[in-house]
């Protein structure tokens, strides 16, 4: 049980009364109103006697539900939603026909305005319950410019085992083969794939390429990958779209290279999508996993890269490089970073976990020197190329595992002491040693960019213990219809007398 949950339940109405286990049993049916969202896509509510219940199901705050108890713990219960007794006013009709089966858009049944409120609350709850920031003010979540078709990268999987829809199982009639699927892995199922005809987060051009690839695979009898047996040819279809060029990158991932097959695939795509600038690559992997990264890449058509623009900067993106998946909202995120950083012309700034240097280059245009640090050598290579391509001469990049941040600090001294540090760690948050080194450097301003509110709260607690003040928290919605939220937090050192 997470700390957030423990705190939410402590002092519950059950204290001093018969225990939950004496009162409730697995299999009991209970009725309650949903008052909160909880972790792991559960929702939370209390029974009339005060017992806290975590309910699984596609729910919204304000729903009245009847649920079946599946676990009784000393301090709370877990249940599965059975019937929706009274729908919440936050609900809306989900557009996608496989909503609820596909795990991609868990909040598509919630009105977009309500999604933003839930995300704001999620960030606040983490800061209060995990970080101990009792009076923190969290701004309204910044909405994405487009709430559908916003993703610039989508990764489909191919499998020899198709996930059957409940209505197919009930009718006993299959309209599609059982032994081929191209779509998304069914939630919690590493083997079966749910066929997707149209993804509402993907660009329309991506959905067209998906359909063409499915047709090609079925007509040619391409053998889908079977993860358990580690056999089959077609493994993944990864698509990238450049808003700036209106161009599509098709990356077909296979178990081996078949030159003739790729020539035919190229012919199909180029003749069927003459209106879309295309590049096609074939990543080949023999690894025993479902990851869409190849050991070798073959160029099938075009340049093998797309170019994207963020603000007035241009970036070259290859099949396997990291790039923010919501291009338009990335600009909103980066503008927020710039505002919080408040750079002056003479400043040095560090950008920790810089990836391909997108934030570093943004920052570099407003200061004397920007220093990007990142562990993946190929990303450092891309970052340096991006700097040259954009004519940014005052950004430097160093490869380093930030858990060893302290070892590189003497090398960085020649750039001057950073007045500002921006940090954008992966979901796990900052390594304690990286955090310690950052605090030892004593920047005036720390801008923490986080995709995990719980770890922002954990690291933020350490930052304020070192005398910093949490000045501003702004959630940014990069992923509408999912429960994920990006957060910008600005910490400032108290002014020295």
216 binds ligand SAM (CB under 6 A): no
104 binds ligand SAM (CB under 6 A): no
Place of tokens 């009076």: 135
Query: Which residues neighbour 473 within 8 Å (Cβ) at sequence distance 6 or greater?
Result: 123, 124, 127, 136, 137, 138, 139, 487, 488, 489, 490
Instruction: Report the residue number, 160 or 242, with the smaller CB distance to ligand SAM.
Output: 242
How many residues at the interface with ligand SAM, by CB under 6 A?
A: 16
Query: Which residues neighbour 16 within 8 Å (Cβ) at sequence distance 6 or greater?
Result: none
426 binds ligand SAM (CB under 6 A): yes
403 binds ligand SAM (CB under 6 A): yes
User: Minimal distance in Å, beta carbon 403 to ligand SAM?
Assistant: 6
Residue of closest CB approach to ligand SAM: 355
Q: What CA–CA distance (Å, rounded) separates 184 from 319?
A: 19
User: Minimal distance in Å, beta carbon 199 to ligand SAM?
Assistant: 23
353 binds ligand SAM (CB under 6 A): yes
**CA of 115: how far to CAs of 1, 37, 193, in Å?**
24, 11, 27
Which of these ranges, 10-18, 201-209, 245-253, 353-361, lies near ligand SAM under the rule CB under 6 A? 353-361
**Residue among 355, 429, 453, 480 that touches ligand SAM (CB under 6 A):** 355
Q: What CA–CA distance (Å, rounded) separates 262 from 277?
A: 18
**CA of 121: how far to CAs of 132, 219, 255, 330, 465, in Å?**
15, 49, 44, 22, 24
Q: What CA–CA distance (Å, rounded) separates 141 from 113?
A: 10
Site for ligand SAM in 257-296 (CB under 6 A): none
User: Minimal distance in Å, beta carbon 483 to ligand SAM?
Assistant: 17
**CA of 445: how far to CAs of 52, 209, 341, 459, in Å?**
40, 45, 7, 15
Instruction: Report the residue number, 359 or 395, with the smaller CB distance to ligand SAM.
Output: 359
Q: What CA–CA distance (Å, rounded) separates 118 from 22?
A: 34
424 binds ligand SAM (CB under 6 A): yes
A 10 A CB-CB count for 274 gives 8
Which of these ranges, 132-140, 351-359, 381-389, 439-447, lies near ligand SAM under the rule CB under 6 A? 351-359
324 binds ligand SAM (CB under 6 A): yes
322 binds ligand SAM (CB under 6 A): yes
354 binds ligand SAM (CB under 6 A): yes
359 binds ligand SAM (CB under 6 A): yes
335 binds ligand SAM (CB under 6 A): no
Instruction: Report the residue number, 159 or 487, with the smaller CB distance to ligand SAM.
Output: 487
Q: What CA–CA distance (Å, rounded) separates 127 from 473?
A: 10
A 10 A CB-CB count for 175 gives 6
DSSP code string of 10-35: TT-TTTTSS-HHHH--TT-EEEEEEE
326 binds ligand SAM (CB under 6 A): no
User: Minimal distance in Å, beta carbon 69 to ligand SAM?
Assistant: 39
Which of these ranges, 2-10, 242-250, 400-408, 461-469, lies near ligand SAM under the rule CB under 6 A? 400-408
Instruction: Report the residue number, 78 or 331, with the smaller CB distance to ligand SAM.
Output: 331
376 binds ligand SAM (CB under 6 A): yes
DSSP code string of 332-345: HHHHHHHHHH---T
378 binds ligand SAM (CB under 6 A): no
3-class DSSP state of 120: helix
Measure CA 183 to chain center: 18
State the helix-helix crossing angle for 432-441 and 453-465, rounded to 10 degrees.
40
Instruction: Report the residue number, 224 or 357, with the smaller CB distance to ligand SAM.
Output: 357
96 binds ligand SAM (CB under 6 A): no
User: Minimal distance in Å, beta carbon 146 to ligand SAM?
Assistant: 19
Place of tokens 């699927």: 181
Indicate which residue of 354, 367, 451, 490 is catalytic: 451
490 is catalytic: no
336 binds ligand SAM (CB under 6 A): no
Q: Which residues of 233-256 are buried (b: 16+ CB within 10 A; e: fewer)?
A: bbbbbbbbbbeeeebbbbbbbbbe
Q: Enumerate the active-site residues.
A: 451
Point out which residues bind ligand SAM (CB under 6 A): 322, 324, 353-355, 358-359, 374-376, 379, 401-403, 424, 426
């Amino acid at each position: 049980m997470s700390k957030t949950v423990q705190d939410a339940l402590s002092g519950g109405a059950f204290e001093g009364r018969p225990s939950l286990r004496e009162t409730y049993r697995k299999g009991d049916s209970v009725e309650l109103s949903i008052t909160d969202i909880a972790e792991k896509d559960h929702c939370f509510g209390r029974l009339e006697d005060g017992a806290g219940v975590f309910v699984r199901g596609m729910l919204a705050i304000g729903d009245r539900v009847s649920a079946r108890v599946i676990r009784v713990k000393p301090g709370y219960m877990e249940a599965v939603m059975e019937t929706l007794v009274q729908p919440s006013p936050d609900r809306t009709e989900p557009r996608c026909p496989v909503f609820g089966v596909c795990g991609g858009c868990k909040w598509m049944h919630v009105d977009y305005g309500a999604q933003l409120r839930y995300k704001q609350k999620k960030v606040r709850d983490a800061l209060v319950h995990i970080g101990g920031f009792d009076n923190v003010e969290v701004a309204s979540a910044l909405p994405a410019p487009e709430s559908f078709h916003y993703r610039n990268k989508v990764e489909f999987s191919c499998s020899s085992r198709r996930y059957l829809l409940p209505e197919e199982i009930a009718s006993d009639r299959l309209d599609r083969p059982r032994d081929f699927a191209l779509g998304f892995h069914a939630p919690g199922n590493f083997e079966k794939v749910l066929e997707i005809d149209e993804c509402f987060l993907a660009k329309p051009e991506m959905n067209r390429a998906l359909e063409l690839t499915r047709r090609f695979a079925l007509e040619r009898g391409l053998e889908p990958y079977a993860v358990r047996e580690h056999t089959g040819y077609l493994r993944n279809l990864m698509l990238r779209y450049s808003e700036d060029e209106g161009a599509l990158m098709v990356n077909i991932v296979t178990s081996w290279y078949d030159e003739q097959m790729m020539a035919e695939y190229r012919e199909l795509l180029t003749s069927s999508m003459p209106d879309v600038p295309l590049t096609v690559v074939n990543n080949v992997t023999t690894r025993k996993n479902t990851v869409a990264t190849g050991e070798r890449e073959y160029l099938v058509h075009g340049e093998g890269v797309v170019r994207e623009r963020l603000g007035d900067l241009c970036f070259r993106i290859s099949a396997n490089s990291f790039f923010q998946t919501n291009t338009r909202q990335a600009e909103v995120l980066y503008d927020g970073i710039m505002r919080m950083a408040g750079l002056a012309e003479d400043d040095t700034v560090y950008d920790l976990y810089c990836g391909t240097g997108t934030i570093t280059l943004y920052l570099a245009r407003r200061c004397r020197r920007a220093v990007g640090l990142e562990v993946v050598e190929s990303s450092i290579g891309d970052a340096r190329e991006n700097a040259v391509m954009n004519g940014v001469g005052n950004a430097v990049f160093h490869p380093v595992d930030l858990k060893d941040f302290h070892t590189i600090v003497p090398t960085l001294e020649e750039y001057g002491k950073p007045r500002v540090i921006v940090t954008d760690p992966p979901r796990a948050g900052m390594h304690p040693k990286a955090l310690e080194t950052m605090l030892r450097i004593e920047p005036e301003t720390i801008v923490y960019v986080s995709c995990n509110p719980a770890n922002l709260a954990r690291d933020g607690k350490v930052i304020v213990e070192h005398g910093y003040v949490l000045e501003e928290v702004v959630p940014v919605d990069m992923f509408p219809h999912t429960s994920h939220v990006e957060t910008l937090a600005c910490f400032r050192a108290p002014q020295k007398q």
